[in-house]
Amino acid sequence: MTTNVINDQSEHDSHDGEHHDHKMTGLKRWLYTTNHKDIGSMYLWFSFIMFLTGGVMALVIRAELFQPGLQIIEPDFFNQMTTVHGLIMVFGAIMPAFTGLANWMLPMMVGAPDMALPRLNNWSFWILPFAFAILLSSFFMESGAPNFGWTFYAPLSTTYSNGSTAFFVFAVHIMGISSIMGAINIVVTIMNMRAPGMTYMKMPLFVWTFFITAYLLIAVMPVLAGTVTMVLTDTYFGTSFFDAAGGGDPVMFQHIFWFFGHPEVYIMILPAFGIVSTTIPAFSRKPLFGYSSMVYATASIAFLSFIVWAHHMFTTGMPLFGELFFMYCTMLIAVPTGVKVFNWAATMWRGSISFETPMLFSIAFVILFTIGGFSGLMLAMTPVDFQYHDTYFVVAHFHYVLVTGALFSIFAGAYYWLPKWTGYMYNDTLSKWHFWCSLVSVNLLFFPMHFLGLAGMPRRIPDYALQFADFNKWVSIGGFAFGISQLIFLVLVIKCIKGGEKAPAKPWDGAEGLEWTVPSPAPYHTFETPPKID
């Protein structure tokens, strides 16, 4: 298989050579590229642009909530902001960033010359900008952008939606197609193109987490496609899937959506586990503790993610048995996640740690992601969820998981591999500034939300009672500080690409072999059973 791909690629290159003097340049290079590194770079840049776009929307929301009353925007536009902010951050920022990291690093980690399906790879990237152009274009339409929340619950997205629902549905379909193609590419690459001798249990954990995530994507993206198609036909073609008057059921929408939506949350965090399991051993100068338990924990989380979806729906009135089942299954997810946190801590234990920027982001990830995990454990309990549902406590919970979790891991990976990608070392002072500004501001932004939620402030509402004013002011200040901090990262990356100090062969001066990939599984030490010798 590998040989065929190499031959195919070389034929493709020579064919290109006839027309383009061996190397395409300018725009053509990026439009037609089948090179996994180029495509990885495009995914990363695209995700960063989307991150800033979604971030501006978040700042509009926080500017409105800086003080009580309606200051800047109308409630309808506020709802449009919350909806598109969520869609862009999930489908446009976090997921493409992970796909970009996978494109860049996976072939090198498994010893493949490229991704298995290079042309599919190109296509799965290039349809994404069009999907988000369609979504964002709805702001300029008379009816306005989607205003029903990123979870687009029926009947808000059907009976009561504005005129842009069709554009939203089309955009989501294209994003889904892109995700499915990217996932197929990852699975085929890992299964068919590993270097000789690299068995599954010798793959780096980074590879494992993307492998499992790709299967999750292939399983749940068609469910999302079905959901948005039913929303489309209910809105424009007279069907009644979610309309009680026609024999449908609006609660069925929530079941179908969350059957996609809950594994989706793990699609956005499992790759983060892989990145952190790469950086922490490298900067602890130690092999990863408990490699095989990490693999099984990842697989367990993926399996459990399919049977907990209705914990988003405790307040819809399900039978007591259903509530108990979903409560216990949700709490069970804390076990494999706890195994991971323990293993990261054990990896750092008595290591010769150096606190370079990737390690700082990784340690922050472990601590802050754990806070998000604990608040998730609280929300898993049915009677507690009755109180906190649809409050800012939930907003605090999932932002701790997705910002200080997924996003911080992406920063850790970007700082870890930037010298490899560009050939230059980045400005260490700037990177430290980026880390500390982000760390302080992100906690100022999201931690007070826990208290707002516990006191009963509802989410997605542009106005609030006077009692919430002080916390909201601090949250908004934290939001703007966090947004501005990300510009430091932009400046740093551009400076790094342009040049600077040349990166040595081993930029992190680590223990032998603990550089771009971590040897897996760990060599024998006192905590593991001795390896079998063939």
The yes-or-no answer on residue 340 being catalytic is: yes
- State the pTM of this model: 0.91
The yes-or-no answer on residue 138 being catalytic is: no
The yes-or-no answer on residue 450 being catalytic is: no
Q: Which of 311, 397, 434, 450 is catalytic?
A: 311
Name the burial class of residue 425, with classes exposed (0-12), middle (13-18) and buried (19+) by CB atoms within 10 angstroms of its CB.
middle
Domain ranges of the chain: 38-268, 346-527
Q: Which of 34, 43, 62, 114 is catalytic?
A: 114
The yes-or-no answer on residue 312 being catalytic is: yes
CA 487 – CA 441 distance, rounded (Å) = 14
Kindly write down the DSSP assignment for every residue of 346-389, as one continuous string. HHHTT------HHHHHHHHHHHHHHHHHHHHHHHHSHHHHHHHT
What letter does residue 522 receive in the DSSP assignment?
P
Q: Which of 158, 165, 284, 337 is catalytic?
A: 337
CATH of domain 346-527: 1.20.210.10
Q: Which of 36, 194, 262, 286 is catalytic?
A: 262
The yes-or-no answer on residue 459 being catalytic is: yes
CA 402 – CA 179 distance, rounded (Å) = 18
pLDDT in tens, 96-130: 999 999 999 999 999 999 999 999 999 999 999 99
pLDDT in tens, 348-364: 999 999 999 999 999 99
The yes-or-no answer on residue 14 being catalytic is: no
pLDDT in tens, 13-32: 444 443 444 577 888 999 99
The yes-or-no answer on residue 337 being catalytic is: yes
Angle at 412 between CA 494 and CA 511, to 5 degrees: 110
pLDDT in tens, 45-60: 999 999 999 999 999 9
**Res 274 pLDDT > 80:** yes
The yes-or-no answer on residue 264 being catalytic is: yes
What type of residue sits at position 35?
N
Q: Which of 62, 173, 340, 397 is catalytic?
A: 340
pLDDT attached to residue 500: 86
The yes-or-no answer on residue 179 being catalytic is: yes
The yes-or-no answer on residue 438 being catalytic is: no
CA 309 – CA 329 distance, rounded (Å) = 10
The yes-or-no answer on residue 508 being catalytic is: no
Tokens 């799965």: give the residue: 124
CA 40 – CA 53 distance, rounded (Å) = 20
- Per the CB < 8 A criterion, the answer to whether 302 and 208 are in contact is no
Q: Which of 194, 312, 397, 399 is catalytic?
A: 312
Mean pLDDT of 436-460: 97
3-state class (DSSP) for residue 458 = strand
| Superfamily the domain 38-268 falls into | Cytochrome c oxidase-like, subunit I domain (1.20.210.10)
Strand partners, 502: 424
The yes-or-no answer on residue 399 being catalytic is: no
Say yes or no: do domains 38-268 and 346-527 share a fold.
yes
Q: Which pair of structure tokens corresponds to residue 307?
A: 């049977």
